[in-house]
C-alpha cells in the first residue's frame, strides 16, 4: 500500500536529483541534453572520460564563492542560535510561570505564520532602510540611527522573524509534555530553578529542541526570498547566488553545483534530525 506514494516521490523528487547530479558532473545526454544546449559555459567530460568536475572547480575557485559561503553559514548560525534562544526562553516561561504575559508573547510569536514571507521581507527592508522608520524616528531626537537595509543584519532579522513560529511551537510543546510532578519533586529535593532547567527541562525536551534546531537551520541555509529582498548585492546568500547563475548568467550547470553545496551542508544538519528520531524511537522501545 505504501508503494504508490513512494514511487511517486521517487519520480518527482528522486529522478530530478539524480539528473541534476549527473549534469553537474558533465553528463549532457538524456534528460540533460536540452538544458546543456541552452546553457552557457557547460563543462563536458574529455574524450575517454565519463565525468568531469570542471563546474565544481569553477565555482569553488570563484572569488565570490568564499564570501558567499561565509555569509550563508554566518547568517544560518546566528539566526538559528537567536531563534532557539528565544524559543527556549518563551517555552520555559510558559512552563514555569504561565500567566497573561507569556501567553501574549506566545501568541505574538506565531503571527509570522499568517504573513507571506515576501511581504515580511519587504516590510523589514523598509523598516530598517536608510529612510525607514527606525532612522526617521531617531532623527526626531537628533540621533543618527543604524542603516540595516541591504545588509547581513537585515537577513538575520528576516530569518528570525520567519523561523520563530515553528521553533516556538515545537520547543514549547516539548516543555509542556514534561510532567509537573517531576519539577515539583526536584524542588522538594532542594533543586533550584537553574538546576531544574539544566537537569530536567532541557534534557527531557532535547529531542524537540533538536528537531526545531535542524529544521530552522536547514530552512535558513537554503532561504531565498528574505536574502534576495533584504541582503546586499555582494556577497550573497548561496540561494540568491544560485538564482543569479541560473537566471542572470544562464549557467545552469554552475547553479546546480551551488545547489549541491547547499545540499551537502543541509545533509550534515539533517543527520542530527535522523539521530533525534532514532533516539525517540529507542526511548519508546521501538528499536
Looking at the fold, whether 25 and 121 belong to one and the same domain comes out as: no
Question: Which pLDDT tens digit goes with each residue over 202-258?
Answer: 988 888 998 899 999 999 999 999 999 999 988 999 999 999 999 999 999 999 999
Residue 218 falls inside a structural domain: yes
pLDDT on residue 284? 61
122-136: pLDDT as tens digits: 999 889 988 888 899
Please name which of 176, 166, 281 lies closest in space to residue 214, comparing C-alpha atoms.
166
Residues 234, 238, 243, 249, CA torsion sign:
positive
DSSP, collapsed to helix, strand or coil, labels residue 206 as: helix
Give the domain-ending residue among 56, 73, 90: 56
Q: Which three cell numbers stand for residue 64?
A: 565570490
6 in any annotated domain: no
Residue 5 lies in a domain: no
CA-CA-CA-CA torsion sign (187, 189, 193, 195): negative
Domain-embedded: residue 102? yes
Q: Is residue 121 part of a domain?
A: yes
**Has residue 3 been placed in a domain?**
no
pLDDT in tens, the chain (287 residues): 788 888 888 889 888 999 999 999 999 998 899 999 999 999 999 888 899 999 999 999 999 999 999 999 999 999 999 999 999 999 999 998 878 888 888 888 989 989 999 999 999 988 998 888 889 999 889 888 888 989 999 999 999 999 999 999 999 999 998 888 888 888 888 888 888 888 889 988 888 998 899 999 999 999 999 999 999 988 999 999 999 999 999 999 999 999 999 999 999 998 887 877 777 667 666 55
The count of domains in the chain is 2
Same domain? For 35 and 163 the reply is no
Q: Does residue 2 lie in a domain region? A: no
C-alpha cell of residue 189: 529535593
- 211, 96: one domain: yes
> Quick one: how far is CA 86 from the chain centroid?
16
Residue 95 makes CB contacts below 8 A (sequence gap 6+) with 172, 175, 176, 178, 201
Do 39 and 69 belong to one domain? Answer: no
Give the other-Cβ count within 10 Å of 175's Cβ: 23
**Domain coverage including residue 119:** 64-283
What's the whole-model pTM score? 0.89
Q: Any idea what the CATH number is for the domain that residue 275 is in?
A: 1.10.3720.10
Q: Identify whether 272 is part of a domain.
A: yes
Amino acid at each position: 500500500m505504501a508503494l504508490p506514494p513512494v514511487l511517486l516521490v521517487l519520480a518527482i523528487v528522486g529522478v530530478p536529483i539524480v539528473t541534476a547530479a549527473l549534469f553537474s558532473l558533465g553528463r549532457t545526454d538524456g534528460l540533460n541534453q536540452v538544458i546543456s544546449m541552452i546553457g552557457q559555459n557547460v563543462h563536458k567530460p574529455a574524450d575517454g572520460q565519463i565525468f568531469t568536475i570542471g563546474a565544481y572547480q569553477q565555482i569553488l575557485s570563484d572569488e565570490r564563492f568564499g564570501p558567499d559561503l561565509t555569509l550563508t553559514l554566518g547568517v544560518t548560525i546566528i539566526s538559528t542560535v537567536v531563534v532557539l534562544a528565544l524559543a527556549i526562553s518563551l517555552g520555559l516561561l510558559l512552563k514555569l510561570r504561565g500567566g497573561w504575559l507569556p501567553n501574549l508573547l506566545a501568541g505574538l510569536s506565531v503571527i509570522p505564520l499568517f504573513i507571506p514571507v515576501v511581504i515580511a521581507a519587504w516590510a523589514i527592508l523598509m523598516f530598517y532602510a536608510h529612510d525607514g522608520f527606525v532612522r526617521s524616528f531617531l532623527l526626531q531626537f537628533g540621533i543618527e540611527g543604524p542603516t540595516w537595509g541591504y545588509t547581513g543584519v537585515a537577513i538575520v532579522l528576516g530569518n528570525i522573524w520567519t523561523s520563530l513560529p515553528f521553533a516556538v511551537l515545537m520547543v514549547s510543546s516539548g516543555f509542556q509534555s514534561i510532567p509537573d510532578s517531576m519539577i515539583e519533586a526536584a524542588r522538594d529535593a532542594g533543586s533550584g530553578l537553574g538546576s531544574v532547567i539544566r537537569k530536567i527541562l532541557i534534557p527531557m525536551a532535547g529531542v524537540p529542541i533538536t528537531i526545531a534546531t535542524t529544521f530552522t537551520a536547514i530552512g535558513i541555509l537554503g532561504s531565498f526570498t528574505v536574502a534576495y529582498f533584504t541582503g546586499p548585492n555582494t556577497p550573497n546568500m548561496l540561494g540568491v547566488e544560485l538564482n543569479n547563475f541560473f537566471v542572470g548568467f544562464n549557467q545552469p550547470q554552475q547553479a546546480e553545483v551551488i545547489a549541491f553545496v547547499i545540499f551537502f551542508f543541509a545533509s550534515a544538519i539533517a543527520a542530527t534530525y535522523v539521530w533525534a528520531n532514532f533516539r525517540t524511537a529507542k526511548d519508546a522501545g521501538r528499536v
